[in-house]
Amino acid sequence: MVQTNSNADSEGRFTALETNVNAIRAVAGAIQGTIGPKGLDTMLVDQFGDVIITNDGVTILNLMEANHPAAKMLINIAKSQQEQIGDGTTTATLMAGEMVTEGLNQINRGVPVARVIEGLRKGIKFALTSIEEKSQVIKGIEDPRLFQIAYIAGREYEDIAKLVVEAAQIIGEEKLKEPSFKLVDTIKALEGAKNEVFLGVLINKQRMNKQMPRSLEEQVRILIIDDALEPEEIDDEALTTEAGFARYLELRKEFEDNLAKIIELGINLVLVDRGVDDLAEEILGDAGIMVVQRVARKDLHNVSEHTGARMIKRTTLKKNIDELEKYVGFAKHVYEDEKLEHIRILGGRAKPIATILVSASTEEVVGERERIAKDAASAVQACIKGGFVPGGGSVELAIAREVEELKKDLRGMAAFGIDCVISALRRPFLQIVANAGFNPLEKLGDVTQAQVERNNFALGINCDTGDIADMFELGVVDPTLVKIYALRTAGEVAEAILRIDTIIRKKDAKHSSESNGEI
């Protein structure tokens, strides 16, 4: 039997761990009310009184003030989950909070940290395998479950779910499975726009001046400059010399020659990553060319994919006309929407790219509508890549039972580390049910018993009625990859926190250098 530590020395041994665990629990507590269909919003207020209202977990984590190093660690790992898979940060955070809490409980009871971590690792490895075994695959891009996936991840906004699925069908399964392609990058939310999916790319920029053409038709020739469209620079000091000034004039002449090449190539649209020199604006504008500067890198990439234009540096313009021709892209129509202040590039010759334009009635809701659409898009793409499992915390409950069986086969104190995983797996279900206004422990017992009696791991709670329901039949499904990444992320955080025995403040690096006689 594990004995509880009672003496004063033992009570003080885990001060660092308790401090870290409290910080992790505080972060988890800040977002626990947002999970599930009945989750509520969080208001974030900065020092100037600016307000953001959202129930998007990663947005809350990104914007909340967190000074404790353990809290920052959790937030950074949750951000990594968002970058990798696009969803599941709230689930990962709740699971991490539960793992470290239960881990601290076991350690305070006398279980060695090493044994807790051993059990934790075994439990997570087993659970990850079980999730993969229960996963089901999407049957093609027309599978009706894609809408349900988008609907659930998109917080039950039907209009957004329809947009995301339509875009996925336009882009195609092959493109969606590419590691470098992210469906979320095709999403734009604009105040005053209407919901729309179109074949093409939208750039949230305007032409450099109103004298440039607003609309380009037929065979639009496109050049993408992944650089500044400016002459090469000369140091101010060099300009004071005769040789330096001569070099300056030479570079200006070379720049004008390069601009002449753009015109000779018959380019209609020039997209530039950085700034554009006044001379370039004037010469290209006089030639009837639309120029757009400071275009986001992801937009340049999408235009490149859609039109076949190859991104170049400004030095590439030194090549001859025949060589430059291979860098040119093509589109059927390019125009600027002056009201909504954006440019559309339609009918590219290369790969199909769909843009999801999400409507927003006011400026305040633009960001939230975009976040909702991105969650839905991430979930759809993740399901196409890795399949889906029943949602609502049901599959985690089923796996928690299986992990309990694993515990019986473990010898020694490592079995106590398994409890950390079991508690973490139950946490999403308990919080979803609590947020829906039902007794979580009562529903936990009911669902667990029903899953065993009916041999159905998809059973969970209908958050509208409180009744037991099959999540597959209810249309409540989640991407398998989101579940896998969330559990893995939570395990990484928990192990890192549980291994910290002491917290030591680092000495100031500048002070250290000065004390050693360094500058």
- Which 3 state secondary structure label does DSSP give 42? strand
SS (H, E, C) 40-70: CCEEEECCCCCEEEECCHHHHHHHCCCCCHH
Cβ atoms of 229 and 272 closer than 8 Å = yes
Bridge partners for 331 per DSSP: 220
Q: Residue ranges of the alpha helices (H) in 410-499? A: 414-435, 440-454, 471-474, 480-498
Percent of the chain clearing pLDDT 70 (strictly above): 92
> What's the one-letter identity of residue 225?
I
- Cα–Cα distances in angstroms (integers) from residue 214 to residues 89, 198, 341, 382, 435, in the given order: 42, 19, 11, 38, 51
Radius of gyration of the chain (CA): 28
How far apart (Å, rounded) are the C-alpha atoms in residues 432 and 139?
A: 29
**What pLDDT is stored for residue 54 in this prediction?**
76
Segments making up each domain of the chain, as ranges: 10-136+389-498, 200-360
pLDDT band at 70 (very low <50, low <70, confident <90, very high): confident
Fold of 200-360: GroEL (3.50.7)
pLDDT band at 491 (very low <50, low <70, confident <90, very high): very high
Residues belonging to the chain: 519
- pLDDT value at 502 more than 90: no
- pLDDT value at 87 more than 80: no
201 Cβ contact partners less than 8 Å away, ≥ 6 residues apart: 299, 302, 303, 306, 344, 345, 348, 353, 355
Mean pLDDT of 328-346: 94
pLDDT band at 419 (very low <50, low <70, confident <90, very high): very high
- pLDDT value at 375 more than 50: yes
**What pLDDT is stored for residue 197 in this prediction?**
92
Q: Which CATH architecture has domain 10-136+389-498?
A: Orthogonal Bundle (1.10)
Cβ atoms of 110 and 4 closer than 8 Å = yes
> What's the one-letter identity of residue 301?
H
Sequence-distant contacts of 440-445: CB under 8 A, at least 24 apart? 444/397
Q: For 119-163, what is each residue's pLDDT tens digit? A: 999 999 999 999 999 999 998 899 989 999 999 888 888 999 999
Cβ atoms of 93 and 74 closer than 8 Å = yes
- pLDDT value at 9 more than 50: no
Give me 200's structure tokens.
Answer: 């093409």
- Which 3 state secondary structure label does DSSP give 312? strand
- Cα–Cα distances in angstroms (integers) from residue 63 to residues 128, 392, 414, in the given order: 30, 27, 38
